[in-house]
Structure 1
Amino acid sequence: MLNAMTTMYLCPADGTRAPVATAAWCCPACRGPWDLDFEAMPVSLKSLSGRVNSLWRYEEALPLAAPALSLGEGRTPLVALTPSVSAKLDFLMPTLSFKDRGAVMLAELARRLGPERVVADSSGNAGTAVAAYCTRAGLPCTVFVPEATSPKKTEQIRAHGARLERVPGDREATALAARAAADRPGTFYASHVYNPYFLHGTKTYVHELWEDLGGRLPEAIAVPVGNGTLLLGAALAIAELYGHGLIAERPALIAVQAEAVSPLAAAFHAGADELPVGPGSAAPTLAEGIAIPDPPRARQILRAVRESGGTFLTVTEDQLRAAQLDLAARGLFVESTGVACWAAVGGWTDRSVVVPLCGAGAKTGLAPAE
């Protein structure tokens, strides 16, 4: 299995390559996010019996092996909600969100590289996950969050021993502050957006669906999209499974955004390949985890949805409130960002679709009524 000392980063925009062990956190030529020059090996469905009951069971598909930091992340339940719609309960993770899938990869990579410090930025869940895995690795960690981040999330970050930096302004201001800190020598930027190891962690979401459904996938996979880390991970896994002949058809990717902050949906429906140049604007939304006005991987996200035959949907604040209460009435208390896909496709009857329930309701509480 490849390791951090030999694997190469690859810039999807201009083809720049750099060794993982010595590379800057972004492409030095265009300042864009990295992809990973890594070829996954096929995973045999029959070989999975008896393997470790975590995402690391798909070791052939992962760029890191033999982890020291695992908390048993992954292998979350798949539960039918209607005859057509099933939910994957990714809020049943060690830190109560799907971000553990990617955070364990980043922390494991950082552990092997041995930086002086780790820096992350987040609206809450990714920062919590990075903080948890860094404390397990014995790595000092600073997490930058927007000043309006849920107190329950910031309390969890502090509980894991990370230094918390509240940044005035929105999610984009927070990212800029973290990137400035990441340029300091000796710093590992545990970015769930810029570092592709995170995407190779989130792709295990689809490997689990494939295993749970007996070697197939649903007709559609709905994913909440802000920075697009779960969607791009899903697209990566689908391409690998299809390329290895392990699925006969590719599911459509249904990307869901909050209507209040939906730059990708607007670009998609306008037929654009990327977002307009210049900073986007973010309005307040209950779906704080996907309130991203200018995602760095916008071009990749738009292309992945189009190539899958999927589409973008948006949901209103009222729909988010109603979906959270509806899921709670079904026994599932999910945070307001994590209900976005249920709000968008919960009434579908024409094809099979899986939605992720990405974060626990305990992280934010019930969405307030207007």
Structure 2
Amino acid sequence: MTITTAYVCARCGAGSSVSSLTWRCPECLGPWELDFTAAPVPLASLAGRVGSLWRYEEALPLSDPYCSLGEGRTPLVRLTDTVSAKLDFLMPTLSFKDRGAVMLAELARRLAPRRVIADSSGNAGTAMAAYCARAGLDCTVYVPEGTSPKKLEQIRAHGARLTVVPGDREATALAAREAADEPGTFYASHVFNPYFLHGTKTYVYELWEDLGGRLPDTLVVPVGNGTLLLGAALATSELYAHGLIGSRPALVAVQAEAVAPLAEAFRAGADDVPAPAPMRATLAEGIAIPYPPRARQILRAVRESGGTFLTVTEHQLRAAQLDLAARGLFVESTGVACWAAITAEPREGSVVVPLCGAGAKTGLAAGSRAT
């Protein structure tokens, strides 16, 4: 099946056919971008379209998906007078990663590789396992030791092979990247493959539609590898370029205080993360990334939006999880980071936070107890 888009490297300008299965730029080893220009999405015509993220077909580099599970179109609910939450844990695999995983699985199905591999701290792996099962693809997921048993069970249930890597998330990524260079392998990397970002950008297209053609003043987003934030930046740029919004919202990025290389680089005025951050234990394991490959893009996107970085403590994460549960929303401890941050440091104007993963995936944070 013909793929009309191509990969391009924003760092050095090199390019590659998508069908080559090259997962990063061979010249500078940087992550690919996609040579694709989104067309305007007509707001008035959306009411009669399919009830999934594929309703925004003009903005997506793939169409007519076989492996969709109905992902997207998650509810937006009010938490306070100014803050609303988008319930992205109400997805087929219970996390926002489904937005990008369906794009990667659909792409892989069309390219027909010998096997698909992915690496993850849990949610991206479960999403890829599910969508590869849907697409009939052989899938192996690399995870770090200490990954939630419930997430491992979910990956196995979808029929994917599990490779548990001794060490942390970074060691897992390195092991997967070594395997990704084997012939016939499609590396379904939510970090390096830009198709994933074109999936996560639908989060903002949904907000734009639900809010009647506008966006909130501030989008608060958890950031580890930055896939949701970069997708949000991509969507706001497209909507603004097409004249579909009058201004772009500020992007406020949230990291755990324990592992916050991007927040530290932002505060230092740096354009990149100079070296891997020390890896410390944190309840927000899903965003504990010591050396994000797309750090330059993330820092630039936050600065260009007029946003900032916030960090949250372990105590704040525990408190936020209990607070949301008391409001009827049981969210995993990584997924409450934005609510923890915005509760501690409120923003002026309208704000939307994502609740990215279901609490059923991990249970209540250690040291927390309901009263």
Amino acid at match of 1:199: L
Q: Which of residues 109, 118, 121 in structure 1 aligns to 2:107?
A: 109
Tell whether the 8 Å contact from 1:4 to 1:109 is kept in structure 2 after alignment: no
Alignment correspondent of 2:160? 162
TM-score w.r.t. the length of structure 2 is 0.98
Render the CA deviation track for 1:192-247: whole Å, top value 9, x for unaligned.
Answer: 00000000000000000000000000000000000000000000000000000000
Show structure 1 runs of 5+ residues with no match.
Answer: none
Alignment correspondent of 1:252? 250
Amino acid at match of 1:105: M
2:335 partner SS: coil
Quote how far apart the aligned CAs of 1:4 are: 5.6
Q: Which of residues 281, 286, 300 in structure 1 aligns to 2:283?
A: 286
Alignment correspondent of 1:238? 236
Q: Does 1:314 align with 2:311?
A: yes
2:225 partner SS: coil
TM-score w.r.t. the length of structure 1 is 0.98
Amino acid at match of 2:107: L
Specify whether residues 349 and 224 from structure 1 end up closer, same or farther in structure 2 by C-alpha distance, changes over 3 A only. Answer: closer
Distance in 2 (CA, whole Å) between partners of 1:330 and 1:89 is 13
Alignment correspondent of 2:98? 100
Superposition pairs for residues 126-275 of structure 1, below 5 Å?
Answer: 126-275=124-273
Alignment correspondent of 2:26? 28
Amino acid at match of 2:83: V
Quote how far apart the aligned CAs of 1:349 are: 5.8
Tell whether the 8 Å contact from 1:10 to 1:34 is kept in structure 2 after alignment: yes
Q: Which of residues 17, 30, 54 in structure 2 aligns to 1:56?
A: 54
Superposition pairs for residues 346-361 of structure 1, below 5 Å?
Answer: 346=343, 348=346, 350-361=348-359
Distance in 1 (CA, whole Å) between partners of 2:21 and 2:33 is 12
**Alignment length (residue pairs):** 367
Render the CA deviation track for 1:318-362: whole Å, top value 9, x for unaligned.
Answer: 000000000000000000000000000136262111000000000
Render the CA deviation track for 1:17-40: whole Å, top value 9, x for unaligned.
Answer: 111111411100011110001000
Distance in 1 (CA, whole Å) between partners of 2:215 and 2:307 is 15
Alignment correspondent of 1:330? 327
Alignment correspondent of 1:39? 37
Quote how far apart the aligned CAs of 1:109 are: 0.1
1:155 partner SS: helix
Tell whether the 8 Å contact from 1:83 to 1:349 is kept in structure 2 after alignment: no
Show structure 2 runs of 5+ residues with no match.
Answer: none
Amino acid at match of 2:259: V
- Which consecutive segments of 4 or more residues in structure 1 shift more than 4 A? none
Tell whether the 8 Å contact from 1:98 to 1:358 is kept in structure 2 after alignment: yes
1:49 partner SS: helix
Tell whether the 8 Å contact from 2:201 to 2:228 is kept in structure 1 after alignment: yes
Identical columns (%): 78
